[in-house]
A = this chain, B = another copy of it.
Amino acid sequence: MSDEFDAVVERVRKRVEPDDDERERLDAVADELRERASAAIDDLPVDADVVLVGSTARDTWLAGDRDIDLFVPFPPDIDREDLESYGLDVGHAVLPAGHEEYAEHPYVKGTYNGFDVDLVPCYAVADATAIQSAVDRTPFHTEYFRSRIDPALAGEVRVAKQFLTGIGVYGSDLRTRGFSGYLTELLVCQYGGFRAFVEDGEADLAFTDPLVVIDPTDPERNVAAVCSAEAVAHLQHDARDLLADPREGLFFPTEPDPVGAEAVCEAFERRGTTPVAVRFDAPDIVDDQLYPQLDRSLEGVTSELDRRGFDVLRAATWADESGVLFAELEVAERPAIERHEGPPVHVREHAEGFYEAYADGDPEDGTYGPFLDGNRYVVERPREFETAVGFLESDALFDVALGAHVESALESGYDVLAGEKVSELAEAFGVELASYLDPRP
């Protein structure tokens, strides 16, 4: 097994290592960008540096990645407004076709000679514990690794990044909630290589929930704060799998074939469940806003479906131009009535109030009782929604906790798909449905 593991890792290492040609091209473009930035800084009333950060600066990028992150550290005594306006000036000068995005403060993102470039202003603070803005930390991370990552270890880092990418947990964006590049580098450094990372890391990480990895440049900060328990569990599972059966496929998985509408119908028919979906125009917000809102909205809707007795077996949310909240129900329909428990008879005031409120109810109108069950009054009364679709199509949908932009999007209108109609989703989400219907860790 040992030989096979090493052989697999060696093949992966080669596949993800940038060749000389790629390095030269990157260096050339980075130099050009740096020069353009320096020229723009010369036009400002303050001086500033230009620093290449991220995996391209640390030689840990994966072959084919085309991301360049340039940071512009300004003197820490300038105003926030000045920092932002100078930063944007430089950004637009360097990337004339770029557009502004917003993290903790605005920055310019654009393409340049085929590379995706972020040009981000920050404060040139004395050390990472003195940051004025979250991005001020980033140059310290690059600095930290300058003496710690040699070319051999950089190769190990690349293999680890590819592994985390392959198993779907690479990235600290709020959709993935996985392992950031910096976290990966820290872990591979800490274990001394990819093999120790999967062998020992699998067991070590097992008992830290949530995962805590102290930032060596700022001991107050947990580098793994955004990493979910599920991402850690994925790593554990796939680390065991890789050790037991080393193979390149885990590093470079193939996407499942999209499933067609007919197969979707057949699958839910075979499962005997009732699929329902709420489909709406996806709000025009960045992914780091969109996916947390979709998750929150899905949680709100599925909790309410459960509370109303439609028992959600599994659920998912997907987005492209449309946003979809999808739930697979165990129960398609509830009775016309529901049980409603009143107070114990001996809690006199409440008990009398409850009894009187329902005493004139009539089975013909769907109210049964009040009657006694143990020492409590109970009544059976008409249920608000007998089907999940009835609930989803009603205003009651807006009483659940929804992401703010998702709520606005739903207010502009939405479709409820149920039963065979959900197969329409195969057109846009065939791959997602394929994974849903054959789920793996």
Contacts and interface: CB of A to CB of B under 8 A. Distances in A.
B363 A437 contact: yes
Interface string A332-374: 0111110100001110100010010000000100101111111
Tell me the dominant secondary structure on chain A's binding face: mixed
Interface in A116-151: none
Given A313-B380, A345-B233, A370 B335 contact: no
Contact of A271 (B229, B272, B309, B337): B337
> Which of A232, A309, A337, A348: most chain B CB closer than 10 A?
A337
B232 A375 contact: yes
Nearest to A332: B333
A307 interface: no
Contacts of A311: 309
Interface residues of A, number: 55
A28 interface: no
Contacts of A380: 271, 313-314
B230 A375 contact: yes
A331 interface: yes
Interface stretch (A98-106, A234-242, A297-305): A234-242
Interface in A390-441: 437-441
A205 to B, nearest CB: 8
> Which of A205, A271, A370: most chain B CB closer than 10 A?
A271
A331 B348 CA distance: 34
A250 interface: no
A437 B206 CA distance: 56
Contacts of A331: 331, 334
B236 A345 contact: yes
A226 to B, nearest CB: 16
A111 B376 CA distance: 41
Contacts of A230: 372-375
Contacts of A346: 205-207, 209, 232-233, 236
A186 B172 CA distance: 75
Given A313-B339, A368-B438, 17 more contacts: A206-B345, A209-B375, A229-B375, A230-B372, A232-B346, A233-B372, A270-B366, A271-B368, A272-B335, A272-B386, A309-B330, A314-B339, A330-B334, A345-B441, A368-B437, A369-B441, A370-B440
